Amino acid sequence: MDFSARKVRMAYRMLYETVQDIWRGGWSNWVVISILTSVLAIFGFVLQLSFGLNLIGQKLTDQLEFSVYLSDTVDVRDFAVIVGKLAYVKRVEVIDKDVAWDEFKRNFTIAEDIQNPLPNTIHVRVANPEYLKSTITAVRSMLGVTDINYAPGVLGFINKLKTLFQVVGIMMAILLGIVTIVITGNTIQLVIHSRQNEIEVLRLMGVEDWYIKGPLIFQGIFYAIISATLAIIPLYLLQAFLWDTAQNLIGSALPTGLPQCYAGNIFQIYYILFVVGIIVSGSGCFWSTRKYLKI
Amino acid sequence: MIHFVNVTKKYGELKALDDVSFQIPAGEMVFIVGPSGAGKSTIMRLLYREEKPTSGQVFVSNVDVSRLPNNQTPLLRRRMGVIFQDFKLLQNKTSFENIAYPLFAIGMDHNEIKKRVHGALKVVSLTNKANDFPRNLSGGEQQRVGVARAIVQGPSLLIADEPTGNLDPATSMEIFQLLEKINQRGTTVMIATHNQQIVDQMRKRVIVMNNGKIVSDVQAGTYIPQPQ
């Protein structure tokens, strides 16, 4: 009982010392926070782009269905039943050539003697975008198929862009992570130097190592929490701006469900920035206390 | 209480201590005197494990501190009080906070801390300065805060390295009398000092050092000071 109460009191005192150190740091805290915020914001921007492209790609792929044009030698409904039994096919819609022609004639003025030139068509949607290509290949090999239409170019482009941003994102994350570790490490080094005398006194009074190092590590974590919170603000505003612009320009063309997914991503990005911030800032402090704090 | 056994301490080629041996029983008050570079401070630093001997053994309460693992050093230091020439007070903390700091660091109950700190302030006659910052205290008062901080954990050994080096003679005498009072309560006190005049008056055991060697070790009242 006494042991745990003692631990709680020690933890409280360490937090108290941390707050005092931060308070005493004054403007130097804001120097670290602003640098760390910038680094996290850039990192977050790369993440946001990567997430956004991933999401758009996913939504486009999800909504992609392919159209199959059939010769008059096959019965369109029988054909639809066979395709519907293929693995990963989610839905098959039959567009009867006569129904389509009637519809066409209703919308356009057509001479009565013109024969129906439209083929029987089915629209096929697959359950998983991964199997889109294999399903198309399977359907193409069936008898009576004259043509298949889908948009492979868009999908390929999105995938290439996604890969590019993932590679760039990982490289930038590593680079910025190292920069952040060095920056916070150097800041803590300055704190250690400015408190050299105090640290020596604590050592000589028999204060434990971790009690001296703890507030410095906590200080790094504090920087990370504040910086991640500040970094998410411009990212959120940028996202809102881009979303509004996209709505105004191509509102109806945007895939359904995108805003909800994108809104969810901002929390995911914050969570990542928070964790990354704590890891890099904490690592910087830990490295600095190990290197410069000889106890 | 303290036992140095053939202790040698070298800094490169320089011998700060050369085969030094002595014993100090519990409850004694001992002065270590000698010119600058004689090795007085090295003895102190070996005691609170700021340095390790190049050879030989240093025992404090039968524990060989020269072989103490690093993680045990804080515990050793908490069992002894150390007083420094430059006081080593935390400038941004009040007298109370300076004295209480080592107690907070071990998670002591706040009421117990208050009791102990006020007790220590009473011993050094500074109860009215508990909330003053070091910058508002005189040199003598700052050193008394240093003494209070050193005794607040109730150590059985108090070591003072040139405790009056920055103080005038009258204030120095007050500090030595304070240390004597603490010694009379049963604490072993070891003081390294230049202040031969006060050592003469205190009539305690005196270990005289020169060039890293003990040149004389005389019991209380028998010390004949060297001409200045």
Q: What pLDDT band is residue A63 in, cutting at 50, 70 and 90? A: low
Condensed to tens digits (0 to 9), the pLDDT of residues A86-124 reads 888 888 999 998 888 888 888 777 777 788 888 999 988
The dihedral sign for the CA sequence A163, A167, A170, A173: negative
Asked if the Cβ–Cβ distance from B101 to A206 is below 8 Å, we say: no
Contacts 24+ apart (CB under 8 A), B98-102: B98/B134, B98/B145, B98/B149, B99/B145, B99/B148, B99/B149, B99/B152, B100/B152, B101/A202, B101/A205, B101/A207, B101/B149, B102/A205, B102/A206, B102/A207, B102/B78, B102/B149, B102/B152, B102/B153
Write down the pLDDT at residue B170: 87
Nearest chain B Cα distance for residue A8, angstroms: 8
A9 and B108 within 8 Å at the Cβ level: the answer is yes
Suggest the residue from A21, A22, A201, A212 to mutate for an interface test with chain B (most B CBs closer than 10 A): A201
ipTM above 0.85, yes or no: no
| C-alpha distance from A29 to closest chain B C-alpha (Å) | 18
Q: What is the pTM of this model?
A: 0.67
Is any Cβ of chain A less than 8 angstroms from the Cβ of B68?
A: no
Of the partner residues A13, A198, A209, the one whose CB lies closest to the CB of residue B104:
A13
Q: Which residues of B touch A200 (CB under 8 A)?
A: 88
Under an 8 A CB cutoff, do A204 and B74 touch? Answer: no
A13 touches B at CB < 8 Å? yes
Instruction: Looking at the complex, report in whole angstroms how far the Cα of residue A207 sits from the nearest Cα belonging to chain B.
Output: 6
pLDDT, one tens digit for every residue, chain B (228 residues): 899 999 999 998 899 999 999 999 999 999 999 988 899 999 999 999 989 999 999 999 989 998 888 888 888 998 899 999 899 998 888 999 999 988 988 889 999 999 999 999 999 999 999 999 999 999 999 999 999 999 999 999 999 999 988 888 888 899 999 999 999 999 999 999 988 788 888 889 999 999 999 999 987 666 666 555
Q: How confident is the model at residue A175 (pLDDT cuts 50, 70, 90)?
A: confident
- For chain A, percent helix, then strand, then coil, each to nearest 5? 75, 10, 15
Comparing alpha-carbon positions, the chain A residue that sits nearest to B70 is: A295
Element housing B37 (H / E)? none
Of B71, B75, B105, the CB nearest to A211: B105
Triad A8, A226, A51: Cα angle to 5°: 120
Angle at A27 between CA A22 and CA A32, to 5 degrees: 75
At position B149, the amino acid (one-letter code) is R
